[in-house]
Structure 1
């Protein structure tokens, strides 16, 4: 079969259009790191960043950089120790188990919405975080306020506002640091 010049150029144009989408696809698949950290004397522990905005399909990797503590990343979900649901209902909950220093754990987020998580041994110290996937509707995150039962006050105070995450894309710990913390 002989192809005309127009057919060949048309195919090449389609291929060029497809390849122009590649950087966007590569960005969406980029891994986002969240560091698990603590002060030298162990008196303060935290996730950094504490809030992030990602695209559906992106992977988040938690890395324990705290040489003095083990940590977990655990989704607020009834499947995890009967905790209140603070994530999309269709999403699969996660629990990393204890991560020793230098260990990591990853989750790929496919469902759009707001995900709250915590560190099992340090939740009472406010070691929590929030991930926003895609562009959830306001009702999807205002419903989280109804799932506060049983959460420590320190944890509730530590969550960054969804609006701040949507506006800044990354919210660092120092943006929400309590007075007197390092």
Structure 2
């Protein structure tokens, strides 16, 4: 039951949200699949590059029948990696997802977010998300620190220009 306390706890804005039709309140959800060949000789995210609006929910789903995977942001708080997400953005780590398991994260801070699969980064299982556009206030581009990234990962990242042009990049297009 919704009470005045619930509305006040939400900063008063909850009433306006409740008054909107549910279709307008729904957040956009984009799915990123974790894929692999049946024998495990090739693994990837699909898409590997994606442009989204701030506040979009990303749902990572493991569709690989033989491997577990992670969706892990490059950030010092997670395995002491160099930050490759915008300042002020919350880092994430899905932990190991078994086949058909999923994990969700909402990205709100404008900029470029690079992420990787913990056990498969050396094989180039990485991805890049662009939240907003370079013209957005506070937008941060690609991190320049590449010192601890494997060569396969560096080669796999799609360019910001390609993501801007196409909106979504599947791995075979990189």
TM-score w.r.t. the length of structure 2 is 0.83
Aligned length: 154
- Does 2:160 align with 1:162? yes
Post-superposition shift, 1:39?
Answer: 0.8
* 1:47 aligned to which of 38, 45, 48: 45
Matches within 5 A, 1:1-182: 29-137=27-135, 140-142=140-142, 144=143, 146-176=144-174
CA distance in 2, matches of 1:159, 1:147: 14
- Deviation string, structure 1 residues 129-168 (Cα, Å, up to 9, x no partner): 00000013598324x1x21011000000000001110111
Residue 114 of structure 1 contacts residue 136 of structure 1 at CA under 8 Å; is this kept in 2?
Answer: no
Q: Matches of 2:45 and 2:53 in 1, distance apart?
A: 20
The answer to whether the 8 A contact 2:66-2:99 is kept is: yes
Match of 1:8 in 2: none
Distance in 1 of aligned mates of 2:56 and 2:85: 16
> How far apart are residue 31 of structure 1 and its match?
0.5
CA distance in 2, matches of 1:52, 1:125: 20
Deviation at 1:60, TM superposition (A): 0.4
| Unaligned runs of at least 5 residues, structure 2 | 1-19
Distance, in Å, in 1 between the alignment partners of 2:52 and 2:25 is: 13
Give the Å deviation of 1:40: 1.2
RMSD over equivalenced CA pairs, Å? 2.1
User: TM-score with structure 1 length normalisation?
Assistant: 0.79
SS in 1 for 2:141: helix
Q: Distance in 2 between the 1:170 and 1:70 partners?
A: 24
Q: Match of 1:4?
A: none
Instruction: Give the match's secondary structure for 1:166.
Output: helix
Counterparts of 1:85 and 1:72, CA distance in 2: 17
Point out the structure with the larger helix share. Answer: 1
Runs of 4+ in 1 over 2 A off after TM superposition: 136-140
Contact 2:68 2:97 in 1 (8 A): yes
- Do 2:110 and 2:140's aligned partners in 1 also have CA atoms closer than 8 Å? no
